[in-house]
Every structure is written in C-alpha cells, then in structure tokens.
C-alpha cells in the first residue's frame, strides 16, 4: 500500500463526467475462494450502475458498456485482487477508470452516479480522527504501517528513497573496511570495525546517526498526508529516534518489544491501546472548541443552509459530519452564492454534504466523520466551526 494524500484527493475532486460513477466496496486481503465475495460486491454495484444509467440517464447499452467495461475487466483479473486492502474505490467516466485500494473500513457497498466523484468515504484516510502511522524500529528493516481501530496495513517504502536497514548498512561498511584491511596487510595499518565492535555508547551514536539519515528521508513521505506517528521497538531505540526526528506529529508513548513483520496484530492492538485515550482526548477537545466558538458566533450547530454556504465560500475551519448521515441533495450556485435544496437525486445535483466536505479540504480546513453520540450541536447531520464571524 502507498500513502493516499490530499494532493491525490484534490486532483480526483476536479474530475468531471456526464455521468461520473463512484463505487465503493468492502474487500478482503486474504481469500480462500479466489476473492469471489469481493468480486460479487463489485459485480452487484456494476449491475446497479447499469440499471440506473439505463433508467435514469436514458443511456444506450453501447454507451453504458463504454463506461463500465474497464471495471468489468477487473472481475477476471486475479492478480488485481491479490493486492486487496480493505476498501475498493472505483471511479468511472468517459471510458476511463481510476482505482484505489485503501485501508478504510466500509460497512456497505456504494454506487453513486453524478457529474463529479463522490469522495466522502475517502475522508477517514486523510485525517487524524482515529487514523495514525506506526513506525517499527527494527534495525534489520524499518517498517511503516497505517493504522485505525479496525485495520493495520503496511505502507510500502522504497529502499532507494528511505534507508530501511541499519544492519545492512553496517554489514556493507564492515565488508568494505575488511577489504581495505586486506589491501594493507603487511603495512601494519589493517583496521577492523566489525558489526559488534565498540562500546554500547558508541553503538548508540552510530544508530542515532542512522536514524537522522532515515528520518530525513522518511518525513517528506509522511508529510504527504500528515498523521500522528507512534513508534514500536526495543526500549532503547525510542529515545534515539526521538532525538533524531523532526516530525511535528510524533506522539508520546512507545510499543516496547522486539517485533518483526510477523507481529502485525500484536502491534495493532498494543498501539491502539496507546492511541485510543489520546484520540478520546482530542474528540473531547474538539467538542469543547466547538462549544466555545459557538458562544462567540464562530460555530454553526443548527443552521444547515448557513453552514453549507459558509463551507462553499471558504468560511469553515472544521466540518463535522455524522458518519450515518443521509444525502442532502441540491446545488450550489457559485455566481449567486446560493444553496438550492432538492427533495431527491436529480441529474444535475449532487450530495451537498460531500460537496461541502471537498471544498473545506480544498481550502485547508479539517473534515471529520463523527459517530452520532459524539456529534456536537443540535443539527445531528453536520456542524462546523468558522474562520470568521458571518453576517446575519
């Protein structure tokens, strides 16, 4: 898995099609039946899309096939399914397809047809609301994971871009110096700096220097989608890494132990035990911030139209959306800055909740999908804090 970042999200948000189809399905990383259940999820959503395109968009079979055929071809591509994550996102328009395989939990499949992509299910991959990085400080090989409450998945790192193995570097140095020593035999200048040579303090200095190099290479990758970073590894490595790291979102705490790539489930549970109390504190702090701002007319908790308009005009700092919300259909008129609601889905409208979320992200704001019991305000669907006070 590679990091899905805000730049990719915003590039995707600019795409258009008449129509544009967004499909999300749950998938499995491991299968004993050739991923038949996963294929069935996709096949069912493609059947739904075909029916809706024929009945609601009056499209001919030839045009429908042109749009859907790239996704249909995946059903027979076994190699594709071998690289599953937890959610498949498939975007189709004008005979083109973009596919994402992401570690995001999705309960039910979604087929959404509009003139633009439906992107709300991707929001959890981009924010820190229960989503974090875990860095395994194993000197044999550094490993990075993306973690949520339900999921842990390794993030692919390129050894050409990041120095992933301290041990390998040490062995290369040892071999090189051994060869140099052999070349100086008889001169009295042979020197050997073996892997185990030197005091413990000297070894720690060597490791810390390695961490400086490694983290300088890793951090630009993390900043593509900045999330909280927790660390795991034997106890003495934690302080060495902290001295080397300049990452602004490095969190307190460490999962202590001599872990390898075979310990993912244990790493998942133990890192979540550290992260969960901090996430709860952040949720409380976010709701307290909402209440404080609401008292100063810098938050909207009970005026849906006003909040949507503020979001579309760049006024929303943080948007919180009930993760079980129903679609709010309508259109935003950029010329008049007016919101027009609709009772039902129509060809030329879109889900205004999705549209507002994308706009807030594009403007550098934060968007959270929140469980019902933790939603502040009284609207119940969406609330938000503002960058500035709005006129009445």
Phi, psi of 170 (to 5 degrees): -65, -45
CATH architecture observed for domain 6-125: 2-Layer Sandwich (3.30)
Show the tokens assigned to 35.
Answer: 């991923």
Please name which of 338, 313, 343, 348 lies closest in space to residue 328, comparing C-alpha atoms: 343
The three-point CA angle 278-10-93 to 5° equals: 125
- Asked whether 32 and 253 are in contact (CB, 8 A), the reply is no
Task: Say what the pLDDT of residue 180 is.
Answer: 59
Residue ranges, the chain, pLDDT below 70: 174-198
- Asked whether 28 and 84 are in contact (CB, 8 A), the reply is yes
Can you give the residue ranges of every domain in the chain? Answer: 6-125, 132-187+199-282, 296-386
Please give the CATH number for the structural domain made up of 132-187+199-282. Answer: 3.30.420.60
Show the tokens assigned to 28.
Answer: 């499995």
| Distance from C-alpha of 326 to C-alpha of 225, rounded to nearest angstrom | 28
CATH architecture observed for domain 296-386: 2-Layer Sandwich (3.30)
| Distance from C-alpha of 42 to C-alpha of 308, rounded to nearest angstrom | 32
Got the DSSP string for 65-78?
HHHHHHHHGGGG-H
Task: Say what the pLDDT of residue 105 is.
Answer: 87
- Residues facing 340 on adjacent strands: 331
Indicate the SS3 state at residue 384.
strand
Task: Say what the pLDDT of residue 107 is.
Answer: 87
Indicate the SS3 state at residue 253.
strand
Task: Say what the pLDDT of residue 154 is.
Answer: 95
């Amino acid at each position: 898995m590679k990091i899905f970042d805000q730049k990719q999200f915003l590039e995707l948000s600019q795409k258009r099609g008449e129509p544009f189809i967004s499909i999300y399905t749950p998938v499995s990383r491991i299968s004993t039946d050739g991923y038949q259940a996963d294929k069935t999820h996709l096949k069912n959503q493609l059947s739904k899309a075909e029916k809706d395109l024929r009945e609601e968009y009056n499209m001919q079979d030839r045009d429908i096939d042109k749009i859907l055929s790239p996704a249909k071809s995946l059903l027979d591509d076994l190699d594709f399914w071998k690289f599953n994550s937890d959610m498949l996102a498939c975007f189709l328009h004008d005979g083109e397809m973009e596919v994402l395989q992401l570690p995001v939990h999705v309960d039910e499949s979604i087929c959404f047809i509009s003139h633009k992509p439906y992107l709300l299910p991707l929001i959890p991959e981009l924010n820190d609301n229960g989503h974090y990085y875990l860095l395994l400080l194993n000197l044999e090989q550094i490993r990075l994971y993306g973690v949520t409450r339900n999921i842990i998945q390794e993030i692919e790192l390129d050894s050409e871009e990041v120095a992933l193995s301290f041990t390998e570097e040490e062995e290369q140095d040892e071999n090189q110096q051994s060869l140099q020593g052999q070349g100086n035999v008889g001169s009295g200048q042979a020197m050997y700096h073996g892997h185990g040579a030197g005091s413990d303090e000297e070894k720690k200095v060597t490791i810390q220097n390695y961490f400086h190099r490694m983290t300088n290479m890793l951090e630009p990758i993390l900043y593509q989608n900045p999330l909280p970073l927790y660390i795991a590894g034997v106890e003495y490595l934690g302080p060495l890494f902290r001295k080397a790291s300049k990452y602004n979102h490095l969190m307190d705490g460490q999962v202590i132990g001599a872990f390898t790539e075979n310990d993912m489930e244990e790493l998942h549970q133990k890192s979540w035990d550290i992260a969960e109390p901090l996430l709860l504190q952040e949720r409380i702090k976010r709701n307290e911030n909402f209440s404080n701002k609401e008292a100063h007319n810098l938050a909207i908790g009970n005026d849906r139209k006003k909040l949507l308009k503020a979001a579309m005009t760049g006024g929303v700092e943080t948007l919180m959306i009930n993760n079980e919300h129903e679609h709010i259909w309508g259109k935003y008129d950029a010329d008049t800055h007016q919101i027009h609601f609709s009772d039902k889905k129509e060809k030329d409208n879109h889900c205004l909740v999705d549209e507002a979320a994308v706009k807030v992200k594009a403007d550098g704001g934060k968007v959270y999908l929140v469980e019902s019991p933790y939603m502040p305000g009284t609207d119940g669907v969406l609330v938000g804090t503002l960058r500035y006070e709005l006129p009445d």
